[in-house]
A and B are shown apart, each in its own frame.
Chain A
Amino acid sequence: MFNQDRWQEIFETIRKNKLRTFLSGFTVALGIFIFIILFGFGNGLKNSFQEFFLDDATNTMFIFAGKTSEPYKGFKANRRIEFTNDDLYDIKDNFPFFLEYITPRISRRATVRYKNEFDNYTTRGVGPDHQYAEKTIMMEGRYVNELDVKNKSKHAVIGRLVARDLFKQEDPLGKFIDVGNSVFKVVGVFQDDGGDNEERFIYIPYTTRQSLEKGNDKIDQMIVAFRPELGYKGSLAFERQLRVFLKEKKVIAPKDPNGIFIRNIADNIKQNQQFANVLQLIVTFVGLGTLIAGIIGISNIMVFIVKERTKELGVRKALGATPKSVIQMILQESIFITTISGYVGMALGVFLLKNINETLEDYFIKNPYIDISTALFATLILIIFGGIAGYIPAKRAASIKPIVALRDE
């Protein structure tokens, strides 16, 4: 391999057969280039998909209250169940093993006004942990905090689009807005990957909402997050125990399907994940197909090259080249060319993917990328198969009697 003389002979051959070198190199480079681009696009498609469906935290459950459908322990059917603040504390106290955080959510429509601008928005009375459940991203200021909840502060965190519509160019931070006839101070502006609607919410402390409604302690719904390390199965166990606990507390028949509803996000996630996996499978399949096409391409070229060189190989053999040295020469040349051009194709592909970045987002391809190990692996595969593709015709050519090869005009 490291015989300097042999390398010199190979470089000479490469230098003097530019078309041949170009053809085989081009095939390999193109193969690996297309593979990387397609694979990268596939990953970009997956990114878009994940952004659409997985913009919220994935370890949460939504708990709603409804009406019972069965009479139980002296209560009639059709009784309305309502959550109150102490349900939050009870869940917190009883499920320390499962629970990561819990936050209420009280949604109300309200007309919101700033100076002459006004519009209808949904306000959400929440706790500080709601930020994690929605993966709310703060652009300015801060989110609702514990102190706000404790003091029932009239502080509001507004969405990016609320800020844009009401405040135009003005900085909303520290300004006062009128929310359903009470004055709130804007303490933060947020954005959300979930789309425009999610950026039209206004978050306020849930205690503030309760005090505005005659100081009650009622809660619409609770968002419970379980520890992610529990996984899907753990979340199902948590869901089951939570249901039993709440039904007992609210005195609902254990068999009653209504009264309390729990929507486990993990269920949705699982379906979406399956779809993502199918997408991944398609990406892999397309990648493999491209790679195989590349392998076939280089195989064809190698067969052609060896065929073209049959006479030359015959001359070399008549002059004393052993079959081994003939095979070695062809292999070393082909591996050298495939390695160099494979690397070039890979580099070009990765470079292009890096530069595409956001430009194809309209076509649902976001941040296309390929991890370097996949790229290297594919290049290596192509080099190995290029070698094998060269080896088979080379071996045949080397075993042709020189007299036959010399007759080949």
Chain B
Amino acid sequence: MIQIKDLHKSYKMGSSSLHVLKGINLTVEEGELVAIMGSSGSGKSTLLNIIGMLDLLDEGSYELDNVLIKDLDETKAAKYRNKFLGFIFQSFNLINYKTAVENVSLPLYYQGMKRAERQEKALKYLTSVGLLDWATHLPSELSGGQKQRVAIARAMASEPKLLLADEPTGAIDTQTSNEVMDLIQKINQEGKTILVITHEEDIAQMCKRIIRLKDGVIVEDTKVNQVLATQYV
């Protein structure tokens, strides 16, 4: 699903430049649930941004679903993102004046789907995260866990090849975290490839594979025995 070869990325900070990623080689197969761990400054967010086409790489190559991702202008990146990727953010990033169902249907709007169809599909995904009853509520009327579930439904709605979760449990309590991870695991069991960035060890243990980053290089890449979140829910 993902093939990254010799990836370098540095940021210009005034006159000096900060070398953030120093030669990353990474292959992720379809259906994997991968945790990317590392302390802050390890480059894990930068890696996710590049995989998510929110940022450009300097050197190396990146293939997503056998499509070489290069020479991205904003328009092309937007189309790829819409087609390939679903995002789950730490701070949910729901649009606050749109109801849950409207938020979920937004990526479908950018796919050019008809309104009625959009609505139907959005409701289907809201149902799958157990929030059908909250469809017409605004984000401000939802709890943190509910918001993240709406965000997951939104990420799923466009039926992406790859789900990218940036600290999905960073802003919610443990109990709710387990619920969210349970949901992520279930989505993974249906065959979706998911990348989770986290710095919480127990969250990482709920994935199938852990990649540890330190100072811009991968220091550890291990398969783990997945801890199922269902037991905590």
A and B: bona fide binding partners: yes
Q: Does A40 contact B (CB under 8 A)?
A: no
Q: Does A315 contact B (CB under 8 A)?
A: yes
B93: chain A residues at CB < 8 Å are: 311, 314-315, 318, 406
B75 adjacent to A16 (CB under 8 Å): no
* Cα A340 to Cα B131 with chains together (Å): 38
Sorting the interface of chain A by its residue count into under 10, 10 to 19, 20 to 34 or 35 or more gives: 20 to 34
Partner of A17, one of B49, B81, B97, B154: B97
A406: chain B residues at CB < 8 Å are: 54, 89, 93
Partner of B49, one of A16, A311, A325, A403: A403
Q: Does B125 contact A (CB under 8 A)?
A: no
* Cα A17 to Cα B98 with chains together (Å): 10
B115 adjacent to A402 (CB under 8 Å): no
Q: How many residues of B contact A (CB 8 A)?
A: 29
Instruction: Contacts A13-B97, A311-B93, A406-B89 given; indicate if A320 touches B54 (C-beta within 8 A).
Output: no
Contact mask for chain B residues 110-129; partner A; CB cutoff 8 A; 1 contact, 0 none: 11001100000000000000
User: Could you say which of A314, A315, A325, A409 has the most chain B C-beta atoms within 10 Å of its C-beta?
Assistant: A315
Contact mask for chain A residues 1-28; partner B; CB cutoff 8 A; 1 contact, 0 none: 0000100110011001100000000000
B89 to chain A, nearest CB (A): 7
A143 to chain B, nearest CB (A): 73
* Cα A324 to Cα B79 with chains together (Å): 12
A403 adjacent to B81 (CB under 8 Å): no
Partner of A323, one of B49, B78, B109, B115: B78
Contact mask for chain A residues 26-69; partner B; CB cutoff 8 A; 1 contact, 0 none: 00000000000000000000000000000000000000000000
Contact mask for chain B residues 74-118; partner A; CB cutoff 8 A; 1 contact, 0 none: 110011011100010101011101100010001101110011000
| Pair count A-B, CB < 8 A | 69
User: Could you say which of A12, A317, A399, A402 has the most chain B C-beta atoms within 10 Å of its C-beta?
Assistant: A402
A322 adjacent to B79 (CB under 8 Å): yes
Q: Does A80 contact B (CB under 8 A)?
A: no
Q: Does A321 contact B (CB under 8 A)?
A: yes
B75 adjacent to A319 (CB under 8 Å): no
A322 adjacent to B75 (CB under 8 Å): yes
* Cα A13 to Cα B95 with chains together (Å): 11
A325 to chain B, nearest CB (A): 7
Q: Does B158 contact A (CB under 8 A)?
A: yes
B87 adjacent to A319 (CB under 8 Å): yes
Partner of B95, one of A8, A312, A322, A402: A312
A323 adjacent to B95 (CB under 8 Å): no
A8: chain B residues at CB < 8 Å are: 115
A277-321 CB contacts (< 8 Å) to partner B: 311-312, 314-321
In the complex formed, the residue of A with least CB distance to B89 is A406
Instruction: Contacts A12-B102, A316-B110, A403-B54 given; indicate if A321 touches B78 (C-beta within 8 A).
Output: yes
The binding surface of chain A is classed by DSSP as: helix
B117 to chain A, nearest CB (A): 11
B147 to chain A, nearest CB (A): 13
B78 adjacent to A320 (CB under 8 Å): yes
A320 adjacent to B74 (CB under 8 Å): no
A163 to chain B, nearest CB (A): 72
A12: chain B residues at CB < 8 Å are: 98, 102
The binding surface of chain B is classed by DSSP as: helix
Instruction: Contacts A315-B95, A402-B54 given; indicate if A5 touches B74 (C-beta within 8 A).
Output: no
A409: chain B residues at CB < 8 Å are: 91
B138 to chain A, nearest CB (A): 9
Q: Does B55 contact A (CB under 8 A)?
A: yes
A135 to chain B, nearest CB (A): 64
Instruction: Contacts A17-B97, A312-B95, A399-B74 given; indicate if A319 touches B110 (C-beta within 8 A).
Output: yes
* Cα A406 to Cα B95 with chains together (Å): 12
B55: chain A residues at CB < 8 Å are: 401, 403
* Cα A261 to Cα B92 with chains together (Å): 92
A168 to chain B, nearest CB (A): 74
* Cα A322 to Cα B75 with chains together (Å): 5
Partner of B75, one of A13, A17, A323, A402: A323
B54 adjacent to A321 (CB under 8 Å): no
B110: chain A residues at CB < 8 Å are: 316, 319-322, 325
User: Could you say which of A319, A399, A402 has the most chain B C-beta atoms within 10 Å of its C-beta?
Assistant: A319
B93 to chain A, nearest CB (A): 5
B79: chain A residues at CB < 8 Å are: 320, 322
* Cα A9 to Cα B82 with chains together (Å): 18
In the complex formed, the residue of B with least CB distance to A399 is B74
A402: chain B residues at CB < 8 Å are: 54
B109: chain A residues at CB < 8 Å are: 5, 9
Given contacts A320-B110, A322-B78, 14 further A-B contacts (CB under 8 A): A8-B115, A9-B109, A12-B102, A315-B94, A318-B87, A319-B106, A319-B107, A319-B110, A320-B158, A323-B75, A325-B110, A401-B54, A406-B93, A409-B91
| A-B contact list, 26 entries, CB within 8 Å | A5-B109, A9-B109, A16-B97, A16-B98, A17-B97, A315-B93, A315-B94, A315-B95, A316-B95, A316-B106, A316-B110, A317-B74, A317-B81, A318-B52, A318-B54, A319-B87, A319-B158, A320-B79, A320-B81, A320-B83, A320-B158, A322-B75, A401-B54, A402-B54, A406-B54, A406-B93
